[in-house]
Structure 1
Amino acid sequence: MANLSRKEVTRNNLLEAFWSLYVEKPIERITVRDITDLAGYNRGTFYTYFSDVYEVLEIQKSALMPTEDMIIDPLKEIQNNDGVIEESINGVSEYIKNHGERIAILLGPGGDPKFTHELKARVRGIIMDFVRGIDIREIKEYEYLIEYHISGMINMYQLWVENESNITEDELSILYERISHDGLLNITSGMLNDRKTGS
């Protein structure tokens, strides 16, 4: 934080104090006084930066949204590399490493019910803008394909968090890539027919 101004440091401290509380209890039970007491400021300082606790939550959610490049780069790779994605998956992995914990809380049962919708809407909007720009033929159908893909990815991640990361992050990424490349039915069929000895 050496390069941040005093105002930026104060604002970040308030944001972090809010998040520490949000991890423990629902937003309806978080007060401005809770935040300022934890961060070591007075209530007036809070209102210098934010209007209420709900604005703080919106700022936190906004900071977790994936960048346009992260969403578009895999599509460009698919176009240029005959459907193979290599480089851009690293960006997704880095994103999960940096933000996964907070995303998990927002997507979880005690999180913000609107976050899933907002996350999907952002990703879908960026992708649809891209495909409209390259003028694909089946534009209406493609939107449904994207919705299926995004929902599956989010739900896989939610289950992974609920299962307390019972497979590694790399294994989750590989499984996700297998589903994307080989198709759900092909993989399901293979798994159902690949039984343990004696089954």
Structure 2
Amino acid sequence: MSKMSRKEETKNNLLDAFWELYKEKPMAKITVKEITDKAGYNRGTFYTYFIDINEALEILKASLMPDKEMIINPFMELKKNDGTIIEPIEGTNDYLKKNGEKIAVLLGPKGDPGFVHELKARLREIIISYAKDLEIKEVEDFEYVIEYHVAGLISLYQLWLEKGQNIDEESLGHVYEETAYKGALSVINRMLNDIR
């Protein structure tokens, strides 16, 4: 095993130990000693990789940020297919399968309040950059529409995760599609008038 891979393994072990503790208790109650004991290292090892526990959290959050391709592909498809996205949440579902537990905790009531803001800022930055590359005329208005859509999408997944993924991905996809294409008020009106 190369020296670099051993370093990466140690850093990952420390991050995993931190995560296990973060799931169980508030950030303010986690100590470096607990992290290193759980990971099987001494306290000094932690400081080789991180300035403090906050940096460990920031590194963990940064690893959860979606990549540009996942964010831009639906917009490219929307433009190419005259306003239709064929697989609207496929990339998002893969992303959630990989990172769902961590996202659920970070978005949850005991998670990091800043994570939602950082996630929205990342998504907005990617999408607005794409819009500017296309040279769309209404970039300022577009940014507000994107904020509305992104906030709704994050909240949709947040609720789904909080409810233990109580409906299947396909049903969630249908809820998203209908709301995205028809608008929330139209869907709410349909549901209110669809009496049993």
TM-score band by shorter chain is: over 0.9
Tell me if the contact between 2:36 and 2:46 (Cα under 8 Å) persists in the aligned partners: yes
Q: Which runs of 5+ in 2 are unaligned?
A: none
Counterpart residue identity of residue 103, structure 1: I
**Amino acid of the residue matched to residue 30 of structure 2?**
I
Which residue pairs with 1:117 in the alignment?
117
Which residue of the partner structure matches residue 108 of structure 1? 108
**Range moving further from structure 2, 94-103 or 78-87:** 78-87
Partner of 2:34: 34
- SS of the equivalent of 2:13 reads helix
User: Pairwise CA RMSD of aligned residues?
Assistant: 1.7
Match of 2:56 in 1: 56
In the other structure, the counterpart of 1:65 is: 65
1:172 and 2:172 aligned? yes
Are the counterparts in 2 of residues 73 and 88 from structure 1 also a CA contact under 8 Å?
Answer: no
**Shift in Å at residue 133 of structure 1?**
1.1
CA contact (8 A) 1:70 1:88 kept: no
Q: Report the alpha carbon displacement of residue 128 of structure 1 after superposing the two structures with TM.
A: 0.6
Q: Deviations over 1:48-97 (max 9, x none)?
A: 11111100000000000010111111111011111221256321110011
In 1, Cα distance between equivalents of 2:94 and 2:164: 19
Q: Give the percent of matched residue pairs that are identical in Structure 1 and Structure 2.
A: 55
Question: What is residue 156 of structure 1 aligned with on the other side?
Answer: 156
Per the alignment, residue 86 of structure 2 pairs with 86
User: Relative to structure 2, which stretch is displaced further, 40-49 or 80-89?
Assistant: 80-89
* Amino acid of the structure 1 residue aligned with 2:19: W
Q: Do the aligned partners of 2:32 and 2:46 also contact (CA within 8 Å) in 1?
A: yes
Q: 1:5 corresponds to which residue?
A: 5
Provide, for residues 126-155 of structure 1, a one-character-per-residue CA deviation record: whole Å limited to 9, x for no partner.
111110111112211111101110111111
Q: CA deviation at 1:47?
A: 1.1
- For 1:157 and 1:142, locate their aligned partners in 2 and report how far apart those are by CA, in whole Å: 22
Q: Could you tell me which residue of structure 1 aligns to residue 135 of structure 2?
A: 135
Q: Deviation of residue 164 (structure 1)?
A: 2.5
Aligned to 2:188: 188
Amino acid aligned to 2:109: P
Write the deviation string for residues 22-61 of structure 1: whole angstroms up to 9, x where unpaired.
Answer: 0001111111100000000011111111111100000000
Is residue 36–residue 42 contact of structure 1 (8 Å, CA) maintained in 2? yes
Q: Is the 8 A contact 2:74 2:88 kept in 1?
A: yes
Q: Distance in 1 between matches of 2:140 and 2:5?
A: 47
SS at match of 2:89: helix
1:24 aligns with 2:27: no
Counterpart in the other structure of 1:46: 46
Q: Does 1:77 pair with 2:58?
A: no
